């Protein structure tokens, strides 16, 4: 599971559902309740490119998880995240809405002319629920500040367990070939 230093039992696998991410992890984080095991780190996402998450975020297979503060700045050192589609409601098994999920794709280069990559982020936020008491209004405000993210690299078929080169890998490999090209003066 990545290179995180967490004390988990042998054989532990982290494959939470959308509902579990919101109810058992993000809700507890946002309302300042303890979460056991506390395995998901806080990470300011946007200084990092997605391939730099190894060792910084909780990694399981080809997916990385972390908490982040909500931000409109989605620019990294080598690209930017752009939302695709509309927000999707996340419901409990009882049909109660607990939050929203949005999908973002990573583009290498400067906006708006970047090159689309295979890196996908699912960003989860809690439902906005009004509060009448002052003590809970601070917790409600904190809920709006936090998101939990799941980042993965997808292959062309949509799954993420491929040994094929990603679009981003192909870009970097093609840049290496530029040294061999002679350009006129």
| pLDDT tens profile 57-98 | 998 888 999 999 988 888 999 999 999 999 999 999 999 999
- pLDDT exceeds 70 at position 4: no
Helix (H) or strand (E) holding 27: helix 27-30
53's tokens: 């998450």
pLDDT grade for 174, boundaries at 50, 70 and 90: low
Cα distance between residue 124 and residue 127, in whole Å: 10
Helix, strand, coil tally for the chain in percent (to 5):
25, 30, 45
Cα distance between residue 65 and residue 29, in whole Å: 14
In this prediction, residues 2-8 reach a mean pLDDT of 50
CA-CA distances (angstroms) from residue 25 to 21, 31, 73, 74, 127? 5, 10, 24, 23, 14
Q: Using an 8 Å Cβ cutoff, are 89 and 97 in contact?
A: yes
Q: What percent of the chain has pLDDT over 70?
A: 71
Q: What is the pLDDT of residues 47-60, one digit of tens each?
A: 899 999 998 999 88
In this prediction, residues 111-122 reach a mean pLDDT of 95
Question: Among residues 18, 160, 15, 25, which one has the least CA distance to residue 88?
Answer: 18
Q: What average pLDDT does the structure give for the chain?
A: 80
pLDDT grade for 131, boundaries at 50, 70 and 90: very low
Cα distance between residue 140 and residue 31, in whole Å: 8
Coil, strand or helix at 175? helix
Point out which residues pair with 116 in neighbouring strands.
107
The domains found in the chain, sorted by start residue, are 18-71+89-103+119-130+148-155 (2.170.150.80)
- pLDDT exceeds 80 at position 104: yes
For residue 23, the model assigns a pLDDT of 93
- pLDDT exceeds 80 at position 135: no
In this prediction, residues 118-145 reach a mean pLDDT of 69
Coil, strand or helix at 103? strand
Q: What percent of the chain has pLDDT over 90?
A: 49
For residue 145, the model assigns a pLDDT of 87
Q: What is the pLDDT of residues 6-16, one digit of tens each?
A: 556 677 788 89
For residue 60, the model assigns a pLDDT of 86
């Amino acid at each position: 599971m990545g290179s995180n230093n967490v004390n988990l039992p042998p054989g532990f696998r982290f494959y939470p559902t959308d509902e579990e991410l919101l109810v058992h992890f993000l809700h507890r984080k946002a309302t300042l309740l303890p979460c056991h095991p506390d395995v998901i780190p806080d990470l300011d996402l946007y200084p990092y490119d997605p391939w730099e998450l190894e060792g910084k975020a909780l990694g399981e297979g080809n997916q990385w998880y972390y908490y982040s503060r909500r931000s409109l700045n989605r620019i990294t050192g080598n690209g930017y995240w752009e939302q695709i589609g509309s927000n999707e409601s996340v419901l409990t098994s009882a049909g109660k809405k607990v939050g929203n999920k949005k999908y973002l794709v990573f583009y290498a280069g400067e906006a708006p002319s970047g090159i689309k990559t295979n890196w996908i982020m699912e960003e989860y936020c809690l439902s906005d629920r009004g509060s009448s008491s002052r003590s809970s209004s601070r917790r409600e405000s904190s809920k709006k500040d936090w998101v939990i993210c799941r980042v993965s690299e997808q292959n062309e078929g949509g799954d993420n367990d491929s040994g094929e080169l990603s679009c981003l890998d192909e870009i970097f490999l093609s840049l290496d070939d530029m040294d061999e090209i002679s350009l006129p003066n």
